[in-house]
A and B are shown apart, each in its own frame.
Chain A
Amino acid sequence: MSDTELTQLSRRDLPLAGDASARFLPWLIAFMVFLAALALVGADALRQTAARWNGGLSGQITVQLPPLVREDAPTAASRAEQAAALLRDLPAVRSVETLERAEAAALLEPWLGAAANDAALPLPTLITVRHSGDPAPLAAEMRQRLQNEFPDAEVDDHQAWIGGLLNLTRGLEILALFLLLLVGAAAVVTVVFVTRTGLAVHRPVIELLHLMGARDVQIAGRFQTHALWLGLKGGLLGLAVAALCYGALQWAVSPTTLALLPAFEIGPVLLVLLALLPLLAAGIAWLTARVTVLRTLGRMP
């Protein structure tokens, strides 16, 4: 006989397409890829949000001067300027900005309406200090400088808040990663089950092919190619559904609501990762089917 042998059996000789167990595999894979896409996008959104908040607040210390009783605008402005002057010449400080009363009122207007502009409304004076130093010692130094003139000034370096936020987002990211691993494991188990069922259904034919001298890889080839296509099909379907959901979300959420939320976009890295998901699903299916078949055949003499 000739030396040029088949790399795998043909679809005709070992037909797997009609198997009932194989029919639901793409749907399961689609669901898993959908979940994985959700986890990836969610984790990335968290990371972006945390980074934005962190970037906005780190390198920044906020000083808050509680309002005096019946304080008028000029007094408030001069007190703010006085405090700012005390802070400006600290070595690590790059800039000091005071928030004018009118600006503060404008920020509150969406919540309070016209009342925000009422001169009688007591508003604290806010001073934003941008710096390039170590926040904790700098804040302590600032507190000391303000102690005499402004004993009730509050100096906030945001570290506690930023730390808490970072811990939270890191925890959620680990959760998302865990979810990805879980989905991958579920995919492996599913493909093992489907492949074993296929092996059982076709056992007489496989045994016969084995006795005729079919090599293990020729038989496994049929199963792994089949699994590859089912995995790819399911993966693309799942990704398409995820994209559809994303689009629907963008469309359904009104622009004003979006304005309140931190802006979120799918960057190129995430896009590549998402595009890889169906390929990953197909690869997992391919490898799992191959290993499962080779192990089963290994038990034949």
Chain B
Amino acid sequence: MVRFEDVTLRYGQGPEILTGLSLHLEPGSFHCLVGPSGAGKSSLLKLLYLGQKPSAGRISLFGRDVSRLSRDGRARLRRQIGVVFQEFRLISHLSVFDNVALPLRLAGERESSLRTKVEELLSWVGLADHLRAAPETLSGGQQQRVAIARALVGRPNLLVADEPTGSVDDRIGQRLMHLFQELHRNGTTIVLATHNLAMVERLGHPVLRLEDGQIAGQPGEEREGLGPLSPGSRGHWPA
């Protein structure tokens, strides 16, 4: 599903954020990505959703070497990836409904079938009363839920979520986790970056720990089949 081989990333002439990182994520797997702030979690996810080219190394998604794809080929891949950005990135001139509808409209889905999907999902995340609201009139937690709904609405094969529960209270956080679990059960591969160790523990999925530009515990190599497990998996990496 996802394969990184010796991937290095640096921004411009800056320091190497990721240094020769390799990993392999099985289809349908659910991984939590943890690590101290500034470790490069968002940067790794950016490579994952094709928002950035690696400085060196090879990335394969859905069994295809990304660098060998045409521009349109990469665009097609991106449509199978749902992204929850750390900073939400909602479009301010669009209503909540239109923000969530955007991926479906890009894919050319008909308005009638799109409407029920969007409304259903938005009421699931507790925003049924805010369909026509402008994003900036919502609280941080509400905006985050719009961002999640937008990432999920197209039923992506790969979901990349960057700190998706950072701005919501525990009750809503659990509801959102439930949503992710549901998606996972339906076969979506998920990578979720978070600081919330309690949540990582509750989810009980394998953990990728990013430290010094590497996945800790497996420098430069990959463990096929098992999925990369760090010593601190199951949520007990020292804070």
Chain A positions within 8 Å of B, measured between CB atoms, are 1-6, 9-10, 12-13, 15, 204-205, 208-216, 218, 298, 301
Contacts and interface: CB of A to CB of B under 8 A. Distances in A.
B77 interface: yes
Given A205-B91, A208-B89, 8 more contacts: A2-B109, A5-B108, A15-B93, A204-B89, A213-B75, A213-B103, A213-B106, A215-B71
A210 B49 CA distance: 11
Interface residues of B, number: 31
B217 to A, nearest CB: 29
A142 B193 CA distance: 103
A142 B103 CA distance: 89
Contacts of B75: 210, 213-216
Contact of B77 (A6, A204, A213, A298): A213
A301 B52 contact: yes
A213 B75 CA distance: 4
A205 B94 CA distance: 11
A212 B91 contact: no
* Residue from B71, B74, B154 with most neighbouring chain A CB atoms (10 Å): B71
Given A1-B154, A205-B91, A301-B53, A214 B106 contact: yes
B98 A13 contact: yes
Interface string B59-94: 000000000000110111111110100000101011
Interface string B34-54: 000000000000000111110
B105 A10 contact: yes
A5 B106 contact: yes
Instruction: From B49, B81, B104, B106, name the one whose CB has the most chain A CB atoms within 10 angstroms.
Output: B106
B94 A12 contact: yes
A38 B108 CA distance: 46
Which of B76, B81, B108 has most chain A Cβ within 10 Å?
B108
Nearest to A216: B71
B71 A4 contact: no
B152 to A, nearest CB: 13
A13 B49 contact: no
Contacts of B91: 13, 205, 208
B103 to A, nearest CB: 5
A49 B99 CA distance: 64
Contact of B49 (A204, A211, A215): A211
Nearest to B82: A212
Contacts of A5: 106-108
Nearest to A7: B108
